[in-house]
Amino acid sequence: MPNNPLDTQLLDRAIITAVKAHANTERRGKGFPYIVHPMEAVEIVATMTADQELLAAAALHDVVEDTDMTVEQIRQEFGDRVACLVAAESDTMPVGISETDSWRMRKQAAIDRLAAASHDAKIVAMGDKLSNMRAIYRDYMVKGDDLWSIFHAPNGKPDHEWHYRGLARSLNELTGTFAYTEFVELLNRVFGDPDFEQIDLADYEEVGSGFTAVTYIHRDGNTMIKMYGDFIAPEVPLTELMTSWRIANLGLNIPKAYRLVTDGKYFGVEFQRIDNKQSFARAISNSPERLEEYAIQFARETKRLHSLRCDTAVFPDICKRFIDIVDRVKIFDEAQKQKVRNFIESTPKTQTCCHGDLHIGNLLAADGQHYWIDLADFAYGNPLFDLGMMCVTANLPDGLIRHLYHISKAQMGRVWYIFIKEYYGVTTDDEVEKHSDLIRKYASLYMLRFSLNSTMEPFMEQFIRDNLLN
């Protein structure tokens, strides 16, 4: 079957030009023709855009730096936009930086320049940087830490980790693309999991708090941090960061996750700050007359989430998560634990995406867009587990609901009722109660989970026994 026709004249000319410019040169230390690298960069850029000028710039990105071609020649042959993109990729010294400056100073200047570059320039750069990162990963698998001796960085591996993590932050605008995710995952395979970076909380203003974390906004207004309580293990923010990068590839609208941070006592994650945002919980609190509208929107966004199929090799199994919880709880004897395990395992298996902490505080509304947040528990499995957490919120005491969600228990009960009607497409009270009766069993599993972090509240234990053991 013939391929679909596509106008590639500009890209074809750029590839021919690149082949001629890099003719008879080797990719340093690789033993293969240099042109292989820019062709790989083109392939990577093609996963992010079909824009022929960006693809042409990827093919030509090294010709100014490594051959006799000039930016002006590229401008004459391929136009101003391609020339500007190639110039942005060329490793020229920024104003105020020279060869006499330290390796880190020169690399930091390049990182800063990339961070300030246009979106298009970052796409072209991503092709180059991911190609480099793939090569580093392949060589590292063969040579191990002996690899670093062939580079110019004075401190070897620590310098390279610092450099590439800086590049990752500079390119975080591309979070959600497969190229960026691959770049970060290869980075972590070579250097290990990202480490926590020291921050000063004096640079941030506290803007909200929940059961497990406090949120702060940086004084520049561009980023925010979610700082977990000291009873939460540092592995939790690490999981949230890595999970956020992977979730972005599913097409869900989420704030970009940037890095791990610590003030020396607490650990957290830095995120993109979403302007003019409010959680659905806060929106209902501020505009109670719109409760039904927000409950319906929340149900629709939840159904959209639950329409996604998860990669079971990437995300954990929510069913196994709850079996592990049952194994660890202390309020059941072994016979009761086995009964609950049997219930969990009887749940029909699916590969549906589950938020893991589904409630109206974890969906933001901002300028007509919706953003899921608090994604550390994202998993795959039956949506009933997710609905269980939503059900928990309707069965908490009034004071706790007001503290966490800023609305009354009566209002939360109304949200739950409208949510179930919209989610399942039912119309009668009997149908709502039928679904609620089943979901309360899954709500009990979440209450069991809460008991692992703190003393079991009497109302929770009673709810669990009424709905899970009877």
**Letter string b/e over residues 370-388, b meaning 16 or more CB atoms within 10 A of that residue's CB:** bbbbbbbbbbbbbbbbbbb
Give the model confidence (pLDDT) of 415-443 as tens digits.
Answer: 999 999 999 999 999 999 999 999 999 99
pLDDT digits 0-9 by tens, 32-76: 899 999 999 999 999 999 999 999 999 999 999 889 999 999 999
Please give the full DSSP string across 94-126, using - where no structure is assigned.
PTT--TTS-HHHHHHHHHHHHHTS-HHHHHHHH
Structure tokens at 226: 């979610």
Q: For the domain bounded by 9-190, which CATH number is listed?
A: 1.10.3210.10
> CA separation (Å) from 87 to 61, 70, 81, 202?
8, 9, 10, 39
Q: Is the pLDDT of residue 463 over 70?
A: yes
| Spatial CB neighbours of 109, under 8 Å, sequence gap ≥ 6 | 93, 94, 96, 97
Among candidate residues 7, 26, 43, 65, the one labeled active-site is 65
CATH 3.30.200.20 segments of the chain: 197-272
pLDDT band at 93 (very low <50, low <70, confident <90, very high): low
Asked whether 103 and 159 are in contact (CB, 8 A), the reply is yes
Give residue-wise pLDDT tens across range 329-374.
Answer: 888 889 999 999 999 999 999 999 999 999 999 999 998 899 999 8
CATH class for the domain made up of 197-272: alpha beta
Catalytic residue among 43, 66, 112, 120: 66
Nearest CA to 228 among 276, 194, 265? 265
Start-end of CATH 1.10.3210.10 domains in the chain: 9-190
Q: Which two tokens stand for residue 454?
A: 């703190």
CATH 1.10.510.10 in the chain: give the residue spans.
277-469
The Cα–Cα gap between 252 and 371 comes to 8
Q: Cα–Cα distances in Å, from 469 out to 96, 186, 274, 452?
A: 71, 46, 43, 19
Closest by alpha carbon to 30, among 188, 142, 127?
142
Catalytic site residue 65? Answer: yes
> In this structure, are residues 285 and 406 in contact, taking their beta carbons and an 8 Å threshold?
yes
Tokens of 45: 């850029």
Higher pLDDT, 107 or 319: 319
CB 206 within 8 A of CB 216: yes
Domain 277-469: give its CATH superfamily.
Transferase(Phosphotransferase) domain 1 (1.10.510.10)
Place of tokens 């991503």: 126
